[in-house]
Amino acid sequence: MRIAVDAMGGDHGPSVIVNGALEGARASGCELILVGRTPEIEQVLPTPMPPDIAVEIIHAPDVIDMEEHPAQAARRKPGSSINIALGQLKEHRADAMVSAGNSGAVMAAALMILGRIDGIDRPAIAAFLPTLYARTLMLDLGAVTDPKPHHLVQFARMGAIYARLVLQTDTPKVGLLSNGEEPTKGNHLIQEVFPLLAIEPAINFVGNIEGKDILRGVVDVLVADGFTGNVAIKVAEGTASMLTDVLREEMTRSWPRKLAALALKPAFQSMKRRLDYAEIGGAPLLGVNGEVLIAHGRSNERAIANAVIGARKVAEEAVREAIRQTASAN
Amino acid sequence: MRIAVDAMGGDHGPSVIVNGALEGARASGCELILVGRTPEIEQVLPTPMPPDIAVEIIHAPDVIDMEEHPAQAARRKPGSSINIALGQLKEHRADAMVSAGNSGAVMAAALMILGRIDGIDRPAIAAFLPTLYARTLMLDLGAVTDPKPHHLVQFARMGAIYARLVLQTDTPKVGLLSNGEEPTKGNHLIQEVFPLLAIEPAINFVGNIEGKDILRGVVDVLVADGFTGNVAIKVAEGTASMLTDVLREEMTRSWPRKLAALALKPAFQSMKRRLDYAEIGGAPLLGVNGEVLIAHGRSNERAIANAVIGARKVAEEAVREAIRQTASAN
């Protein structure tokens, strides 16, 4: 199994990506293709190279920045690490691809280079929500901001397949993000999608899920339109970060508080770990003709390692082939 | 100034509402009309009555439950405390109305009994977000799940007037909830609304606001479609509650942790206070022909007291008249 890794993506530079990828490759026993500017990659590779990992470097002269316009960058920079890593997939030189780069650009380049799976009209960006006791795969997070009802049905099918194969949940529960639990709640789109999901034979649809419950782990797959899904996941992120800020401010106001907070450090760390995206690794881009995992831009080594391990699993379980079969049957 | 209070609304029963209302009336120097089942209200009134507060009880035989279908309940229960309290407004016997009951029913009954302000096509439910250092008025939170672009422009105008008069912010900053900051981001609706707000002379439009920033207090007024607004505020609520749960679990795992947590109690309380909806009180229903404040169902006495104080202020500042003038000028 060979995993192509975009060595230039992410906020922390190639060193974090390369070392994380090596860790993931060692843990999962796969080969690595590191894609990016060769000198920068070679500079951060350990010397001597660990003998137990097969690493190939593929040179990519360009880098797509986080701020660039995704579709334009993907088109105008064929020599970017994202495009060239996806090319490795396209040419069957790699079984899966991981990038912590500009997620919109990964998506646009994947569409351009790999294309869609037959029967899937629009791909979706998914992510794992750090819920209290379980994982919830939420999709779409911004790929399709004005979806049609049948797009959301396709998202539900893809999400259920992913949860079944990768999370190994037998009959994954699928929910629909809405402004109330009752079937009559929702905007026009959600009200149209609800009955379609309810009659979908391959899906264990449990109904509408309200915003307050998305982190409770009540479903395995949470379907949303890309606009609302994007707002929801960012509100969750922003709320967590604001609460952490307030907590930190309050805990450091006086010496007694600082001391007590020090004693609670293990509790805070354990809390952080339970909610940490790094434990989760990459989020799949579902519906494109290739196994693509997008890692958070903030990814540390551990997150990249987990994304590589996840990519291996996605390739092994042949998620894309299962999606293709389901899509062509519908 | 006379404030009508729905004594039957809220999760904690009439005692909390009545005592909170008395506290608010005393603090703001207004008269109270308590609306609900007379015997239940009389039972929780202090004896003897405080001599400094004028209280009238208006009997309402019915109660609308939190679970009832809002529009149906409002139509079928003319004798509910919500409907009768709104009737007091309609008949100019009260200057403002406060309810911690079924917010959908308050909205439906207000539309039915008070009607819309001329020039406002759809009213909006607003709420204050508990941001880190300031307050942000967010609207709509579910009144209009499929708005047209001009509805959102009207929401922006109403929100700006409210922020100017009640929060006393000189030129309130208005933002639009979207999936990215750039003007090109958003679904079709948001992309249409952006340029309309940008050219709106009476509004200090600062652009799109992402989900991660809604609690940062970067704007005074945050405009959203009712569907996304509802999901966003509930995700924030759910995230905060999940984090609190995880924190509590981690803090009580061992005796040393429990002791340290005890020492930090003032810090936690101060954090809670900073984010507490009870400090904020009621959220206005904007666009109906009367000053209506909706308090959270979970409201404690302090929240109800603050809602009554807020209602007095709303009535005093003649928010509705200002909205009417702006609406008729557009």
pLDDT of residue B133: 65
Q: What is the mean pLDDT of residues A89-102?
A: 95
- pLDDT higher than threshold 70 for residue B279: no
Distance from CA of A88 to the nearest CA of B (A): 31
The residue with greater pLDDT, A4 or A69, is A4
Residues A166/A307, Cβ–Cβ less than 8 Å: no
Q: Is B318 helix (H, G, I), strand (E, B) or coil?
A: coil
Distance from CA of A148 to the nearest CA of B (A): 12
Tally Cβ neighbours within 10 Å of residue A203.
21
Interface mutation target, options A135, A264, A279, A296, chain B, most CBs of B under 10 Å: A264
Distance of CA B295 to CAs A220, B18, B277, Å?
34, 14, 9
Q: Both tokens of residue B151?
A: 């509805």
pLDDT of residue B314: 87
Distance of CA A190 to CAs A148, B199, B324, Å?
10, 32, 34
Interface mutation target, options A193, A239, A255, A274, chain B, most CBs of B under 10 Å: A239
Q: Is B198 on the interface with A (CB under 8 A)?
A: no
**Are the Cβ atoms of B242 and A211 closer than 8 angstroms?**
no
Q: Packing angle between helix A149-165 and helix A319-329, nearest 10 degrees?
A: 140
Checking DSSP bridges between strand B292-294 and strand B283-286, what pairing results, if any? Answer: antiparallel
Tell me which residue in B178, B188, B230 faces A146 most closely, judged by beta carbons: B188
Q: Packing angle between helix B226-251 and helix A226-251, nearest 10 degrees?
A: 40
Which of these, B100, B163, B102, lies nearest to B293 by C-alpha position? B100
> Which range, A148-157, B268-277, B311-320, has the best average confidence (pLDDT)?
A148-157
Name every chain A residue with its beta carbon within 8 A of the beta carbon of B238: 210-216, 236
The rounded mean pLDDT for chain A is 90
Distance of CA A153 to CAs A15, A159, A175, A199, Å?
40, 10, 11, 11
pLDDT of residue A157: 96
Name every chain A residue with its beta carbon within 8 A of the beta carbon of B177: 231
**Are the Cβ atoms of B179 and A145 closer than 8 angstroms?**
yes
pLDDT of residue B306: 92
pLDDT of residue B41: 96
Length of chain A (residues): 330
A201 prior amide bond cis, ω within 30: no
Give the least confident one: A40-49, A259-268, B34-43, B155-164. Answer: A259-268
The alpha-carbon radius of gyration of chain A (Å, integer) is 20
Q: Both tokens of residue A20?
A: 């994380």
- pLDDT higher than threshold 70 for residue B295: yes
Name every chain B residue with its beta carbon within 8 A of the beta carbon of A225: 187
Distance in Å from the first CA to the final CA of chain A: 31
- pLDDT higher than threshold 60 for residue A295: yes
pLDDT of residue B275: 66
**Are the Cβ atoms of B257 and A237 closer than 8 angstroms?**
no
pTM: 0.88
pLDDT of residue B154: 96
pLDDT of residue A139: 95
The residue with greater pLDDT, B184 or A18, is A18
For A263, nearest residue in chain B (alpha carbons) = B260
Length of chain B (residues): 330
Q: What is the mean pLDDT of residues A137-161?
A: 95
**Are the Cβ atoms of B257 and A241 closer than 8 angstroms?**
no
- pLDDT higher than threshold 90 for residue A290: yes
Alpha-helix runs per DSSP H in chain B = 14-28, 38-44, 70-76, 81-90, 103-113, 149-165, 188-198, 226-251, 255-263, 265-274, 301-316, 319-329
pLDDT tens-digit map of A166-218: 888 889 999 999 998 888 889 999 999 999 999 998 899 999 999 999 988 89
Distance from CA of A27 to the nearest CA of B (A): 29
- pLDDT higher than threshold 60 for residue A11: yes
Query: Facing residues of B4 across strands?
Result: B33, B97
Q: What contacts B162, CB < 8 A, 6 or more positions away?
A: B126, B137, B221, B284, B286, B319
Q: Packing angle between helix B149-165 and helix B319-329, nearest 10 degrees?
A: 140
Tell me the percentage of chain B whose pLDDT exceeds 90: 60
Q: What is the mean pLDDT of residues B259-264?
A: 79
Q: What is the mean pLDDT of residues A226-243?
A: 90
Q: What is the mean pLDDT of residues B277-286?
A: 75
Residues 268-287 of B with CB under 8 A from A: 268, 270-271, 274-275
**Are the Cβ atoms of B232 and A211 closer than 8 angstroms?**
yes
Phi, psi (degrees; rounded to nearest 5) at B93: -85, -20
Q: Is A243 on the interface with B (CB under 8 A)?
A: yes
pLDDT of residue A307: 93
pLDDT of residue B247: 81
How far is B167 from A308, CA to CA, in rounded Å? 51
Backbone torsion region of residue A207, taken as left when φ is above 0, otherwise alpha when ψ lies between -120 and 50, otherwise beta: left
For B189, nearest residue in chain A (alpha carbons) = A146
**Are the Cβ atoms of B231 and A211 closer than 8 angstroms?**
yes
Q: What is the mean pLDDT of residues A224-246?
A: 90
The rounded mean pLDDT for chain B is 90
Question: Buried (b) or exposed (e) across B151-165, using 16+ Cβ within 10 A?
Answer: bbbbbbbbbbbbbbb
For A267, nearest residue in chain B (alpha carbons) = B250
pLDDT of residue B221: 96
- pLDDT higher than threshold 90 for residue B256: no
Which of these, A55, A109, A103, lies nearest to A80 by C-alpha position? A109
For B256, nearest residue in chain A (alpha carbons) = A263
Which of these, B148, A82, B156, A89, lies nearest to A73 by C-alpha position? A82
pLDDT of residue A279: 62
How far is B312 from B323, CA to CA, in rounded Å? 17
Q: Both tokens of residue A88?
A: 């490795």
Name every chain A residue with its beta carbon within 8 A of the beta carbon of B270: 250
Q: Is B261 on the interface with A (CB under 8 A)?
A: yes
How far is A197 from A161, CA to CA, in rounded Å? 15
Q: Is B256 on the interface with A (CB under 8 A)?
A: yes
Name every chain A residue with its beta carbon within 8 A of the beta carbon of B257: 263-264, 266-267
Q: What is the mean pLDDT of residues A228-236?
A: 93
Q: Packing angle between helix B14-28 and helix B301-316, nearest 10 degrees?
A: 40
Q: What contacts B289, CB < 8 A, 6 or more positions away?
A: B114, B115, B116, B117, B320
pLDDT of residue A133: 65
**Are the Cβ atoms of B211 and A232 closer than 8 angstroms?**
yes
pLDDT tens-digit map of A246-283: 888 888 888 888 887 787 777 777 777 766 655 667 88
pLDDT of residue B132: 65
Q: Is A214 on the interface with B (CB under 8 A)?
A: yes
Phi, psi (degrees; rounded to nearest 5) at A223: -95, 135
Q: What contacts A50, CB < 8 A, 6 or more positions away?
A: A22, A26
Confidence grade of residue A107 (pLDDT, cut at 50, 70, 90): very high
- pLDDT higher than threshold 90 for residue A319: no
Q: What is the DSSP string of B158-205?
A: HHHHHHHHTS--SS-EEEEEESSSSTT-S-HHHHHHHHHHHT-TT-EE
Q: Is A216 on the interface with B (CB under 8 A)?
A: yes
- pLDDT higher than threshold 70 for residue B280: no
Q: What is the mean pLDDT of residues B155-173?
A: 92
Checking DSSP bridges between strand A96-99 and strand B55-59, what pairing results, if any? Answer: unpaired
Q: Both tokens of residue A319?
A: 């998620």
Q: Both tokens of residue B276?
A: 């507490």
> Which range, A103-107, A233-237, B92-96, has the best average confidence (pLDDT)?
B92-96
The residue with greater pLDDT, B286 or A241, is B286
How far is A169 from A208, CA to CA, in rounded Å? 20
Q: Is B263 on the interface with A (CB under 8 A)?
A: yes
Q: Is B68 on the interface with A (CB under 8 A)?
A: no
Checking DSSP bridges between strand B204-210 and strand A55-59, what pairing results, if any? Answer: unpaired
Distance from CA of A43 to the nearest CA of B (A): 35
Counted across chains A and B, CB pairs separated by less than 8 A come out at: 183
- pLDDT higher than threshold 80 for residue A287: yes
Residues B194/B208, Cβ–Cβ less than 8 Å: yes
The helix (run of H) or strand (run of E) holding residue B293 is strand B292-294
Q: Is A261 on the interface with B (CB under 8 A)?
A: yes
Name every chain B residue with its beta carbon within 8 A of the beta carbon of A259: 263
Q: Both tokens of residue A85?
A: 């890593």
Confidence grade of residue B278 (pLDDT, cut at 50, 70, 90): low
**Are the Cβ atoms of A261 and B261 closer than 8 angstroms?**
no
How far is A156 from A124, CA to CA, in rounded Å? 10
How far is B141 from B162, CA to CA, in rounded Å? 16
ipTM of the complex as predicted: 0.87
How far is A259 from A262, CA to CA, in rounded Å? 5
Tally Cβ neighbours within 10 Å of residue B242.
23
- pLDDT higher than threshold 60 for residue B156: yes
Q: Both tokens of residue A155?
A: 């998202």
Q: Is B192 on the interface with A (CB under 8 A)?
A: no
Name every chain B residue with its beta carbon within 8 A of the beta carbon of A71: none
- pLDDT higher than threshold 60 for residue B212: yes
Tell me which residue in A190, A250, A270 faces B270 most closely, judged by beta carbons: A250
pLDDT of residue B24: 95
**Are the Cβ atoms of B178 and A211 closer than 8 angstroms?**
no
Determine the Cα angle at A68 with ends A65 and A69, to 5°. 150
Tell me which residue in B132, B188, B238 faces A246 most closely, judged by beta carbons: B132
**Are the Cβ atoms of A215 and B233 closer than 8 angstroms?**
no
